[in-house]
Amino acid sequence: MAWALCSQVHYFQLDGLGQDGEATTPFAVAQYMERWLEDSARGDLGHRAYHNYKLQIRRHISPAFGRLKLSKRTAAHIQSLYAAKLRDGLKPSSVRYIHAVLHRAFEQAVRFNLIPFNPASRVGPPKVRQEEITPLDAEQARAFLAAARGTGSRRCTSSPSRWA
């Protein structure tokens, strides 16, 4: 595991640092995100999470940032992405998922000295608003229960199962 991490750092840093240690990464954000997902995050993610991350990167992150250099991205770029996605009708919880992917990927870029700070940590994800639930009134509850009884659904039995 330690060898894999060292090789990943070297892999990412091949083009990443100038002589003074300043981040000069020539990677485009989309390129970095793909490399990060396959080379670093994949081993830490379950099958479903991996595919969800891949979907967020391919459907939302890469198209939005295009060829923008990793070292040139700003919190303003990320905030614009979130606002555009909300305007396009994406739910706040989905935008929060995009934020989680970006934050995790950029956090590793900071640890590998590819960028000086994580711009996603400077942007707050949208708040998820709980929708107000209106309970049924007594008449609506009676009508609902009457309709449920008329569907022919099986009733639960209260007798315990016997094991042989």
User: What type of residue is 77?
Assistant: H
Mean pLDDT, range 53-75, rounded to an integer: 89
| Residue 67 included in any domain | yes
47 in any annotated domain: yes
Residue-level pLDDT at 17: 42
Q: Is residue 52 part of a domain?
A: yes
Residue 129: the pLDDT is 77
Q: Is the pLDDT of residue 56 over 90?
A: yes
**Runs of H (alpha helix) within 37-137:** 47-56, 62-65, 75-87, 92-111
Q: What is the pLDDT of residues 127-145, one digit of tens each?
A: 877 777 888 888 988 888 8
| CATH code where residue 34 lies | 1.10.150.130
pLDDT digits 0-9 by tens, 78-118: 999 999 999 999 999 999 999 999 999 999 999 989 999 99
Domain tally, the chain: 1
- Is residue 59 domain-resident? yes
Coil, strand, or helix at residue 122?
helix
* Cβ proximity of 108 and 121 under 8 Å: no
Only one residue has tokens 């107000």, namely 132
Look at residue 103 and tell me if it is in a domain: yes
| 53 within some domain | yes
Does the pLDDT of residue 59 top 90, yes or no? yes
Alpha carbon of 72 to those of 26, 52, 141, 155: distances in Å?
Answer: 9, 26, 58, 62
Range of the domain at 44: 28-122
